[in-house]
Amino acid sequence: MADEYILEVKNLKQHFPIRSGWFQRVTGHIRAVDGVSFAVKRNEVLGLVGESGCGKTTVGRTILRLYAPTAGEVWYRNAAGERIDVAHLSSKQIKPLRREMRMIFQDPFSSLNPRRTVKELIGEPLVIHNIAKGKAMEERVADLMAEVGLDPNYMERYPHEFSGGQRQRIGIARTLALSPRLIVADEPVSALDVSVQAQVLNLLQGLKEQLGLTLIFIAHDLSVVEHISDRIAVMYVGKIVEMTGAERLLRHPLHPYTEALVSAVPPADPDIKTQRIILQGDVPSPANPPSGCVFHPRCRYAQDVCKQQEPQLVEVEPDHFASCHFAAELNLVGIGG
């Protein structure tokens, strides 16, 4: 079935212990991810956005079981169609899934070993998983390089001989080497110059269409995920506060936090004047979040109830989820006014 879910995340939590004192006793918890639920269909791109520190990377790493979750379920449908709760597998059981679920990292500078050639870097997963070696591996590496827009003649070169954008292409080729079924791309363009960002985004967009990738695309900036995403989930302090189709989210946000993020997206037509909403203050600490709605200290629509009662993520309109007491009443401004 084309529209079946490849991933279903249910009430996922990742609480990191805070230790202090001589005995390193646990004195609190950083609730980096605090009850996140969403699902991803095959060949779909889900954008995951929110300011730095809201828990995006932790969601990605926990789904791929680089961290064991504190609580929750992560159901993955493998190539054979079986549903597997990745959250509760042993590290031995998780190993075969590492081929199918992979990550593209933010920083193409530190994620590539500087002492390996591009051939070794892209070919390594093929060798580790016994898929190809020698000549066959070299051919596959050449194909992958061409696929991501790199000249295969450069496969004997080292990462430092490439620009930032090219290095991220090497990282993408390395991720694609095993033909993964699910990719978590964690801010894959955030470390790149603005001019190069568009090129790498275009590459990912092309690969999405060509290879039918299923992607969770993480960014702190809505304008980065706007075009590539089918649906977008907005995170704030460890929780999803809004989730719906990408275009709908930008045109018709239902959560005041999303409205602020949307107001920062440059309009396609430079003649259109937009009113940027500047959020006051910082993202609160997930170790000690504000009472009620965690967004209330920064929300321009906050009322007394917001300080006391935590809003739940509910389906305000068909397939449009938001967690705000006033989601149905506020007439928030999206792109296009």
Choice from 324, 332, 334, 335 touching ligand SF4 (CB under 6 A): 324
312: tokens are 């739940």
Q: Which residue in the block uniquely carries the two structure tokens 């450069």?
A: 154
The answer to whether the beta carbons of residues 174 and 124 sit under 8 Å apart is yes
Q: Which stretch binds ligand SF4 (CB under 6 A): 71-79, 170-178, 206-214, 288-296?
A: 288-296
Choice from 293, 313, 332, 335 touching ligand SF4 (CB under 6 A): 293
What element of type H or E holds 231?
A: strand 231-236
CB of 286 to ligand ADP, least distance (A): 5
Pairing of strands 215-219, 45-49: parallel
Choice from 126, 217, 326, 335 touching ligand SF4 (CB under 6 A): 326
What element of type H or E holds 204?
A: helix 194-211
The answer to whether the beta carbons of residues 234 and 255 sit under 8 Å apart is yes
Does 163 sit near ligand ADP (CB under 6 A)?
A: no
Q: Is 21 exposed, middle or buried (0-12, 13-18, 19+ CB in 10 A)?
A: exposed
Choice from 225, 325, 332, 334 touching ligand SF4 (CB under 6 A): 325
Does 111 sit near ligand ADP (CB under 6 A)?
A: no
Choice from 259, 295, 320, 321 touching ligand SF4 (CB under 6 A): 295
Identity of the residue, 57 or 166, whose beta carbon is nearer to Mg ion in the bound complex: 57
Choice from 14, 57, 166, 214 touching Mg ion (CB under 5 A): 57
What element of type H or E holds 35?
A: strand 25-41
Backbone angles phi, psi at 269, to 5 degrees: -100, 110
Size of the site for Mg ion (CB under 5 A): 1
For the chain, the C-alpha Rg in angstroms (whole number) is: 21
281: tokens are 């203050």
Pattern 242-261, ligand SF4, x by CB under 6 A: -------------xx-----
- What are the C-alpha distances in Å from 72 to residues 117, 234, 244, 264? 40, 19, 22, 33
Residue 247: what residue type? E
Does 55 sit near ligand ADP (CB under 6 A)?
A: yes
Choice from 50, 53, 125, 311 touching ligand SF4 (CB under 6 A): 311
Does 258 sit near Mg ion (CB under 5 A)?
A: no
Does 217 sit near ligand SF4 (CB under 6 A)?
A: no
Backbone angles phi, psi at 63, to 5 degrees: -60, -40
Positions in the binding site for ligand ADP (CB under 6 A) = 16, 30, 32, 50, 52-58, 286
Positions in the binding site for ligand SF4 (CB under 6 A) = 255-256, 293, 295-296, 299, 301-302, 306, 311, 324-326
